[in-house]
Each structure stands twice: as C-alpha cells, then as structure tokens.
Structure 1
C-alpha cells in the first residue's frame, strides 16, 4: 500500500484554495452522490495507507478555512435536514443533520469518517479541533451524532464533505435522546444494562482508552435506575477521575460533588474535588476542601499530601514568595508544567490613553522587585511541539481549543483578551438572569476562529530557561522557543524603554522591575528587542501587532532626520562587516582594535546630543561591547573600564563615580545580559587595579541585574567567575 496516495491528505491537513468557479457551486444541489460501497472502499484504502508503516509519513499541516461562527442555537430550536436536501458551499442555518458514523475514524490533523443519515444516504465528514487521538478516539464507528448548522463543501479530492470546525457544533446523542428524535434511536433499545456499561468502562480504563471509558460511564449513568443511589454516586466518582486524567476539570469538580454522600463528604469524592479545584487554580476553595478533609479523614495520605502544596500556592498567589532555584531544578528534570500559582494581585487591568487596555501597578515596585509571576494558561510540552504539528502555533491553537472546550470556568479569563476587529458571536442570554450562556446542549461554545485570533495577538515565544538563552545568546536544542499564552501578561503593552523585563522558567513567566515603578504607573515590556533602525522596528510592530510604538526613544528618533538615520545605519553595518572578519575580540591586534575604535567614534558623532543625551544609542551597543572585550583580551584595564561604562551608557544606564562610590541613573535604561557583562568586565578591571570597593559595587549591581535578566540568582557566581 506504500504507493497509494491518500485522497484525504489535503482535505484533512490543510484547506485548499479552490478556483473561482467554486462560487458557481454555491447553493447548488449535489447532482450525484457516491455510493455507500464506494465511499467505504475509498475510506478503507486511506485508513490502510495511514497505518502502513512502510509508507512515507504524512506531515501534519494546519490552516483554518474562512471564518464562520459556531451555532448558538439549541437543537430543540433547529429543524432537521437530510443529506439529499443540503446545498453545496453552504452553511445550513437553523438546521441540523442526524447521522450514524459507519466508518472507523481516520485521524491526522483532523478526523475524517463516513456518516449515514436517516434516509440511508452517505457522505464523508471532516471534523477538526475535537480532541480526538488515534489511541483514544471519540468519534467512534457506530455512534449517533447531530451536526448543528452543517457546512457542505467541495473537498480537496474533488468529492464533497461536511466540514465541522467548532467542537460545539457536534452533539453526540444520548440514550432516548429527545433532542434529536432520530430513527437511529431504535438502536438504543438494544443497549447494555448499566452494570454492563460500567464494566465495559472499567475495561477501557485498564486499556487507557479514556474517551471510551467516559462514553461507557455516560451510558451507564443514563441507563441506571434513579433509586440505585450508591451505584450512581460511585459512577460519578469514577467519571470524575477520568475527567481529571483528560484535564476536564470543570466536569471533574461537578462529578466529584455529585459523588459525595448526602451524610458526609466521601473521602474519594472529596479528594477528587480537591484535585480538580487545585488544577483550576482555585486555591482558596482547595484550602476549604483540604480543611474539611483533614477534619473528617485525618489519616488519609492523599488528602494530607495537598496540605503543604496549598500553603505554598497561597503564599505565592498572595505575596509572590517563590523558590526560583527549586523551580529551575524542576525544569531541569524535564518537566515544563510546574506546580506553582500565579502572582499578579499587585497589578490591575485598566485603560491607557492611546493603546487600549494595559496593566498597571497597584502599588510601587523597587528596582529588581518581582512585579508578576504567572503560570501559563497554555504552553505545549516539548513532545507535543515535536510530534503534533510542524508549526508551534498550530500546537498551541489545538491545546487552547481543547482546554476551553472542556473548562467553561476558564472562558472569561481567555475570551476577555484582545481579538482585534474579529466579529464576536453574540452569545444567547439566560431568560432568568440575563447572563450570557456559554453552554448550549451541554457543550461549551468555543469559536475556534476567535481562539486563533486571540492566540495570534496575545501569545509569546518563550524559552524553557531564559538563563541559558541569555548566557549562551541562542537557545539550546532542548530549549527551542515555544509559543505559549499567559493571560495576565497579555495585557501588557510594548515599550522599547520598558520598566520590566520578562523571563521564563518552564511555564512560569517572571517580570521584575528594571527601575522604580510608582503606584498607578503602566507596566510595560519589550515585545522584542528593538532594531537599531527606527523604520525597521516600526514596520515590524505594525506587521506583527498592528501598532506604532510612541515610546520616548521612538518619538525622539523620529525627530532625527531620515538622512542622518540612514547614515548611522550604513556605518553600523560597515562596522559589523569589519568586525565579522575578525569576529572574536580575543584574537585581534591593537591596531585593528583602534580601527574599530575610530569607526565607533564616527558613529557616536552621528547621534545628535540634543536628542540622545539622555537616551540609549542602539547602534553603538555592539561596537562598544566588542571594544570592551577586545581591550579585555589585552588586559588593558583602563580601556576596559572606559568602554564597559560606555556600553552601559549606550543602553541608557548612566554611571558616575563620586568619592569612591558608584552612582547609577537608570530611568531610561534598557536591560539585557550584555549590560550584566559590562558590570562583570568592570568588576574584573577594578579588581585588577586594586579598586576593591568599586569592584564590589560592580559585582553587587551585576548580580542583581543577572537576577532580573535570567529570572533567578542560580548561576551568577559561575557567570562572574567567583571562586
């Protein structure tokens, strides 16, 4: 079968751009439908090709089609439609299709299978973003589904298919389901007993087929006698444990409460509720459940194991007290999803003057102080990034949809984020309270196109350890940048001269103040290190995030003539080309150093004092770093001090020595690891010439900036070569 080319490959893996004549098909009836035998035969060939170990592997590609909204209408308010009445390239508003799945699921970037409607007609269906996995499928052969407001489209192989993108548009039928009134419900009369469904679920659990386990327990609960209270409560507890495994924490929490005895909180149910609330980050409720558990079940090790963990999480959440070195060691053990709470209670979301919403300081922060430490809302694991898709953004999108699909309590936090001009679906309101309903037909409404828009505008590329990226200049193989989303940090606006610096340890994002931040001030950080050329960086901001930076640096540089900016850029590239011929500053002659020194002096003269006397000079940073390291290689300590402090000045950090004391002014300073190197080299030079007081001050300042730049203090002694 290795030579067989999958006819599902394009339609399941990517959306094809069809020729203009596709418009002629819109609203037309299908002239002829493929037979059931032919569709199933073709489906079988594709399944065999997918499972053929000798066949070339199919790369998983991911592209969303043109956006369309999810169905917001309950099934009971929709009218049924048959395949024969469906129109091509049409979303069938206010209609739903009932069908039985008659093919095994073909799972790649999406799930493709064959369905049969109540009239006996068959068609291919392609379902995306539903959380299926090859080892544990949800859309199993034989189940009955309803597709709300189905979209009938031309597929990539020239045939036709029903495409589903929103997970809430698929409804899996229950026993005696009054919502669908289907002819297929006669099949349910042959159902197993509740005991048989439970036993089948237990067997699936042992085989680690958790979606199948969940389905069996659902059937058992649907068929159980209401009088059999103990049986039902036990099933709820079993289902809660499966929901925890599947990260469906809202459902696990609800099931664990349903599985509690009316007389007292059952031990197992309470532990399950404790786990679910803990994973949702509701540590106050977790603390309440813990206290109840310790009172009623003082000798239960499962409950008592949460005691110190919850105490630590509350301290982190309320006071920002973290053991960052321990956090770092956890990541080194190969774990990126760390057991820590988010600390952002000293910040507030508010409206800015020019840039929409932003994040503001609720109290003052001193230089180096922790401003925020946030656990990622979603950060795919290294394994997921390697194996799921060839685009890390696609992995993040898939994980986000799955998380939101099964945890409605997280919707407000995520969907409050900026989505640009994407038209949001108007959610239905409760008749009783007027509140927006995010669940219809027991399915949380998740607009996948809105999810993707929010992802694009709010995610960060993050290393697993900022320290290794900072000290090695480039990520290691194991620390390749990954796309993640941190909801609180997503409110922070960009500035080329920010007042915080962000770093990462696993899925924890850390922000420390790079200068004093008064209460009420807006918190900012760099979305990316600014390019030396104003036009280049403004173009990048516009293309990537749709804004023009108006920070002090950009506003001042805009007052410099275009001709002068071009001269600076040209000379900067000339210096870089000269230096690249002798890239290492440790193998060059003094004559060559003086040549670079002369070019750097010319570049410095191109910065207008009236504009840059109190601002960073970006194009001078790398030349002065190179000169510092070049003179260091010749052990010319006086020159090292000159250029180390010149490097700091080019970052916007101004230093003076008064009566043997180093005074530092950092109101406009940018910060990165090269600034820390400047303090390292100054510390070495002062030590060499016997100025030990100044050396100690440079070391102390450098160690603090190392903490801010990497996120933690571990590794600082090695960085500064302190014995």
Structure 2
C-alpha cells in the first residue's frame, strides 16, 4: 500500500517535479503534518534543557579556496557538484524525521516575488542527530553546503542532500563564506596561490584549480604593479585558461588567453592555448593558421597533435569522421554521454510521407557511404557513474521494468535541461503524427520559437516506448563480426546494445529495405547511407533485425509500434504464391534434430530453384525479400558444405545485391572454410566485403586493419 501511494504521488508530481512553488507546497504539507502530530513539541521538549550544539569548522580554511559558488537555478538533478558551494539561509524552520528537513533560500535579496520563489530549494540533513538538533536549523540561519548533491526524491521532488559533516558550514549571523576565504587568502601571495592551483591541477581537479587561480588573479591585480607580479598574473591567466580547456569551457579559456597576451604578447604557451580554443569555437581555419605559424618546422608534438584535432573538427563540420580515433577517444571517457564529437545534420528535412505521417526526406542527392546524421543522445539506458539510482526512486516505472534506466535518465534530462527538452512535444506519441516540425528548431535549443512545454508521465512513457532505438556500439559490432569464426551464430553475444532517444533520428521511418545503416560510438549515433539516395527520397531505417521471418516482423511491428508495414518489399511479398512462401519459411524452422536438419537441407535443395525462378521471372531480385534473403544465405552454407563452387558462385551473385557487412562477413567465413583462402570465390567475396567496409566507414584503413 505504501509503495502504491508513493508511486501515485510520483506520477502526480512528474511534470512539475522541479517547480519551486510545488516544492514549497509539498514541504508545507509535510510540516503541517509534523506539527499536528505533536512531534515538533516533543522534539523541542527533548532538547530544551541541553546546551545548543556549537558548530565547529571541520574543513581546512585553505581548502575552501578550491570552491566556487553555484546558484540554485544551476543545480543539476542527481549530480554532485564537485568543487562548488551553495550559500543559503533557512526560509522555513525545520521539521525532524529521519533527518532535518527545511526550505532554504539564496542570500541575495530580490524584490520580484517570482524571482524570489526561484531561489528556494528543499534541503535534508542526515546522520547528524548526535551533532546538532532542531535549534541549529531555525529560520534565518545561514549555512554553506560544499560539493552539493542535488538528489531526486522518492516523491519526484529534488532536494539538496547533506550527509557529511565536513560538507556543512553553519555561519554566524553576520558572517559569510567569502569572509572565511578572505582570511585564508590574506596569508598567501599570488605565487602561493599559483602553486596551490598547480597542485590541484596535477591532482586532475581542474575545477578546483580554476577557483584557486581566480583568487590568485584577484590578489595579483590588486597588488602593486611590478614586472615580476605581471609575470605571475600571466601565468595565472594561462593556467586557468588551460583548466577551462580541460573542462571544455572554450569561451572562458579564450578570454583568459587574451587577457594574458595583453600583458605578455610573446608568451608562446598562451598563444598556443588561444589558437586551440579558437578551433573549438567554430573558427577552425583561423585556429589552424595560428597553430601552423607557431610551428613552421612542424617539430612541436603538442602543436601538431592540436592541428590534427582541429582538422578532425573541421572535417566533422562537413560530415567526415575518423571512426578509429573516435573509438580511441571514447574508450578513455568516464561515461558514454561525455562530449567528444561534433554533431552533424546532412542534407535532410522533415516532411509528410504518404501513409506514414511524418518522415525524413533527402533535400539533395546522397551518395552511398555519405554520413546523413550524427546525433548525441538526449538520454540512454546507461547507468552513469555520476547519477545515483536508489530502488524506491524507480517505483514510478513499475509498468516498464525493462526500461527503467532509460525512462529515469530521460526524465532527469528533461528536468535538468528544460530548453533542450522542448523538442519532446514533437516526438511521436501515437496521436501527433501530423504535427509540423522544423528540423532546425529541434537542435537550436536556445530559440524562443518553441514554447514551454510540460510533459506528463503517461506522455513520456508512451513517447519513450515509440521512439527509443537500439544501436550497436561500433567497436563491439565489428569485433563481434571479426570473431565470428570462433562462435556459431547462435552462440554470439548480442548483449551490450545501446538503447537511447535520439530526437532527429526518431523521425526516420522503417522500411524492410532501408537505405541507411546506423551504429554508435559512446552515446553518439551515426546514420550512413548504404546505397545512393535520390533527392526527395525518404530516408529509412530498420526497426527490426534483418534475419527475422515475415511472421516475426509483422508481430513485432504490431506489438511494439502498432503499425502494419506497407513498404514495397512487404507488398511484393504478399503477392508471392503461398506454396513458395512455405518453401521460403524453411530456414526459419526452429528446434531441429539432426534428421530434421538433413530433411530441411533436402527440402531447400529441391525448393530453392522454384523460388529463384519465380523471383527472376517477376523481377523481384531488386527488392529485398527478408525470407528469400535468409534462404539464399542458407543455400550458400549448404553449397559450401557440398563443395559445390559453381552453385555457390551463382547464388552469391544474387545474394550480394542486398548483402550488408554482416552478411558478407558470414559468407566470407563460409567460403574460406569450404574453398580456402586461395580460391577465386573467397578472393571475390573478400574484395566485395572490403569495398563495402571502406565505403561505409569513410576509407578508414586503421579501422579495417583492426576489424575488417
């Protein structure tokens, strides 16, 4: 019963979980219940004869230099904001449950009521009952939280959770954290602060280093001007610029570089940092020009690596990607969702498609192997290291147990990034297929053209169900194909697919003979043309695996997406005589013993020529018929076992028309086992597989050497 009530409350609060007015309303309800129960009087009576606990600062004052302020509006749900502090005062006095709970507000006074309400935040303090009591947390008490953790509550309400005594600083009425920091700074010179910042940077903590360098810059600028002091200021600006680059805050890095170069225009390190920052601010050509001028002899390794990195970004701007390098980069990142690649939208637009509502259409001709879309996921099923999941927080999703991580990450993304979640209203939810949408508006998240939109729990679960897509990580997909020799098809590991919401990709419709293929690196989706696409032609994808039978496909389309596929291939299949359909179903027969397998092979050897004759006579070979394609693959295996190279070659010539990379890898393995690497047919298949591989993956020789 408790869990059911909790779930009902979570669903009710879903679309307004981070609304400060709702947060305040919920708190006041809980406070009223606490007061009416008599617990407030009992708690005060329990402590009235005891001295008020005295706060002791458990953090070294010098360590406070590592922290910089953060506002309530900038707190991200389910994140610990390391090297940040938030300074608040209690607005509504505490009630005590499993911890101390209260509403707090930023210290800055504002006159506007709406602005004031946006400064409030719910706070809960745990594991400190033996250190403090309710008298420490009365209205007006000022306090600071270090490394604030903004937790998502079981009732779908976020709050600042404090469990570590060393992260809580109770301030005297007229004190502030700035005064404590000021006291620590007084004993340090700008050089001391530079060295202390260097130590934080060497400890892989650039955010703390930024705070320390900032204090050093302020102190150096306020000191008497001298040549030595200017050089320290140049170093402080430069070091902070490097930290900003590590944090991917390139605009701030560029500003620091320019300030440093005003003081010392000849400083090569800051010239290098400035040139590199420009490359990440859509000024790649200027960046490359400045970097080349800094290393005319091409002998500086750091500069040459930066040049290659900026060239890659410039290529990515045009839809050209080096997949080998991206796989290496992603491998060292903490989470799949960390940024490491530039998004790209090719010559496509969203429009209305006959019998399909909306779809994606080519605005100009697209060549085979051309990148059509590179898109970062809005949310994934990844259980990220920086997001903390607790069991009770998942009760809201009990009717979708398989999708809990994806649903939870989607909701958190929507609450944490309101602007970038506004596209959600345009995604298909079963009833809005004719809603017009501009592709550019979806990606331009700062536009004012999209109105504020709140989404309910039911709307979101339906949207996720209909729009989530699965995708192979490229390195796992290729490695699996390469190791196919060691495992049978049924023994292969198909776990590890990424399930995610990619907004633009969500508008692409299914076709059984899709003209694209997709793969992911990290949480970034790549959609590549697998054949030439004409201007005005629809861009299509596969919703299901190619090797499924027609019956399995029909069931999946209905159960998962509530539609019947009317693509050209399915319509052609409907007209095939039933007797031939029965023959084409033979490869999909399951659970066969040895005798049945032998009979299956005999039946296929007899029936295949009749199916092939019908396909040729009716000009169907240019159409992808899933069951016929599966039958051809089985026939190639049979001819391989029989060492019938002539029949194998003839079947291969038909099969390769619709073969993808996976198909070619399988048949390449079959031909090697049957006829050897020196055989003509093996060489032909190997060459076809290499040509397709290099076309799809932009002639990436290193990728082919590693996985081809």
Q: Place the TM-score, normalised by the shorter chain, in its bin.
A: 0.5 to 0.7
The residue number in structure 1 matching 2:589 is 575
Matches of 1:89 and 1:517 in 2, distance apart? 60
The residue number in structure 1 matching 2:639 is 631
Matches of 1:404 and 1:247 in 2, distance apart? 23
Is residue 201 of structure 2 the alignment partner of residue 193 of structure 1?
no
CA contact (8 A) 1:641 1:682 kept: no
TM-score, reference length from structure 2: 0.57
Following superposition, the deviation at residue 618 of structure 1 comes to: 1.8
1:525 corresponds, among 541, 550, 558, to 541
| SS of equivalent to 2:517 | strand
Relative to structure 1, is the Cα distance of residues 436 and 617 closer, same or farther in structure 2, using a 3 angstrom cutoff? closer
Relative to structure 1, is the Cα distance of residues 236 and 120 closer, same or farther in structure 2, using a 3 angstrom cutoff? farther
Following superposition, the deviation at residue 570 of structure 1 comes to: 11
Matches of 2:683 and 2:249 in 1, distance apart? 53
1:497 corresponds, among 505, 513, 517, to 513
| SS of equivalent to 1:616 | coil
The 5 Å alignment of 1:430-441 reads none
The residue number in structure 2 matching 1:467 is 478
Following superposition, the deviation at residue 18 of structure 1 comes to: 1.4
Following superposition, the deviation at residue 602 of structure 1 comes to: 9.3
5+ residue gaps, structure 2: 13-24, 48-76, 79-87, 106-113, 162-166, 391-401, 433-445
Following superposition, the deviation at residue 376 of structure 1 comes to: 5.6
TM-score, reference length from structure 1: 0.56
Following superposition, the deviation at residue 627 of structure 1 comes to: 2.9
1:360 corresponds, among 359, 362, 379, to 362
CA contact (8 A) 2:516 2:540 kept: yes
Deviations 1:437-465 (A, max 9, x none): 89xxxxxxx99999999998466532242
Matches of 1:543 and 1:516 in 2, distance apart? 32
Relative to structure 1, is the Cα distance of residues 301 and 695 closer, same or farther in structure 2, using a 3 angstrom cutoff? closer
Relative to structure 1, is the Cα distance of residues 702 and 269 closer, same or farther in structure 2, using a 3 angstrom cutoff? closer
CA contact (8 A) 1:501 1:708 kept: no
The 5 Å alignment of 1:130-209 reads 142-143=145-146, 163=159, 183=173, 185-191=175-181, 192-193=184-185, 195=188, 200-209=196-205
The residue number in structure 2 matching 1:705 is 692
The residue number in structure 2 matching 1:213 is 209
2:91 corresponds, among 81, 92, 95, to 81
2:119 corresponds, among 90, 96, 101, to 96
**Segment drifting more, 307-316 vs 604-613:** 604-613
| SS of equivalent to 2:262 | coil
| SS of equivalent to 2:630 | helix
Matches of 1:592 and 1:513 in 2, distance apart? 36
The 5 Å alignment of 1:500-649 reads 500-503=516-519, 512-530=528-546, 532=548, 536-537=552-553, 540=556, 549-556=565-572, 572=586, 575-578=589-592, 581=594, 593-598=601-606, 615-641=623-649, 643-645=651-653, 647=655
| SS of equivalent to 1:261 | helix
Relative to structure 1, is the Cα distance of residues 508 and 82 closer, same or farther in structure 2, using a 3 angstrom cutoff? closer
Following superposition, the deviation at residue 524 of structure 1 comes to: 2.8
CA contact (8 A) 1:100 1:145 kept: no
CA contact (8 A) 1:283 1:310 kept: yes
Relative to structure 1, is the Cα distance of residues 719 and 290 closer, same or farther in structure 2, using a 3 angstrom cutoff? closer
| SS of equivalent to 1:576 | coil
Relative to structure 1, is the Cα distance of residues 228 and 455 closer, same or farther in structure 2, using a 3 angstrom cutoff? farther
Relative to structure 1, is the Cα distance of residues 327 and 27 closer, same or farther in structure 2, using a 3 angstrom cutoff? closer
The residue number in structure 2 matching 1:428 is none
Matches of 2:276 and 2:386 in 1, distance apart? 29
Relative to structure 1, is the Cα distance of residues 356 and 687 closer, same or farther in structure 2, using a 3 angstrom cutoff? same
Is residue 660 of structure 2 the alignment partner of residue 671 of structure 1?
yes
CA contact (8 A) 2:360 2:509 kept: yes
CA contact (8 A) 1:100 1:117 kept: no
Deviations 1:116-156 (A, max 9, x none): 9997249xxxxxxxxxxxxxxxxx97549899xx998769x
Matches of 1:89 and 1:102 in 2, distance apart? 9
Deviations 1:178-199 (A, max 9, x none): xxx9957545323332747666
Following superposition, the deviation at residue 212 of structure 1 comes to: 3.5
Following superposition, the deviation at residue 709 of structure 1 comes to: 6.8
Relative to structure 1, is the Cα distance of residues 520 and 686 closer, same or farther in structure 2, using a 3 angstrom cutoff? farther
Matches of 1:359 and 1:281 in 2, distance apart? 27
Matches of 2:234 and 2:522 in 1, distance apart? 38
Matches of 2:640 and 2:554 in 1, distance apart? 36
CA contact (8 A) 1:29 1:86 kept: no
Deviations 1:160-215 (A, max 9, x none): x96369xxxxxx999xxxxxx99575453233327476665444334444444344
Following superposition, the deviation at residue 571 of structure 1 comes to: 5.0
Relative to structure 1, is the Cα distance of residues 281 and 389 closer, same or farther in structure 2, using a 3 angstrom cutoff? farther
Following superposition, the deviation at residue 95 of structure 1 comes to: 5.0
The residue number in structure 2 matching 1:243 is 244
Following superposition, the deviation at residue 312 of structure 1 comes to: 5.2
Matches of 2:347 and 2:373 in 1, distance apart? 11
Following superposition, the deviation at residue 629 of structure 1 comes to: 1.2
Following superposition, the deviation at residue 620 of structure 1 comes to: 3.6
Following superposition, the deviation at residue 497 of structure 1 comes to: 1.4
Deviations 1:225-269 (A, max 9, x none): 557784666444333333333444454445444544267385333
CA contact (8 A) 1:350 1:357 kept: yes
Deviations 1:403-450 (A, max 9, x none): 998xx9xx9888768862799xxxxxxxxxxx7589xxxxxxx99999
Relative to structure 1, is the Cα distance of residues 21 and 273 closer, same or farther in structure 2, using a 3 angstrom cutoff? closer
Deviations 1:592-615 (A, max 9, x none): 631444576899999999896763
CA contact (8 A) 2:261 2:267 kept: yes
Is residue 140 of structure 2 the alignment partner of residue 120 of structure 1?
no
CA contact (8 A) 1:79 1:96 kept: no
Relative to structure 1, is the Cα distance of residues 418 and 546 closer, same or farther in structure 2, using a 3 angstrom cutoff? farther
CA contact (8 A) 1:360 1:523 kept: yes
Matches of 2:637 and 2:329 in 1, distance apart? 32
Matches of 1:374 and 1:217 in 2, distance apart? 37
CA contact (8 A) 1:256 1:273 kept: yes
Relative to structure 1, is the Cα distance of residues 542 and 349 closer, same or farther in structure 2, using a 3 angstrom cutoff? farther
Relative to structure 1, is the Cα distance of residues 117 and 483 closer, same or farther in structure 2, using a 3 angstrom cutoff? farther
Q: How many residues align?
A: 573
CA contact (8 A) 2:473 2:498 kept: yes
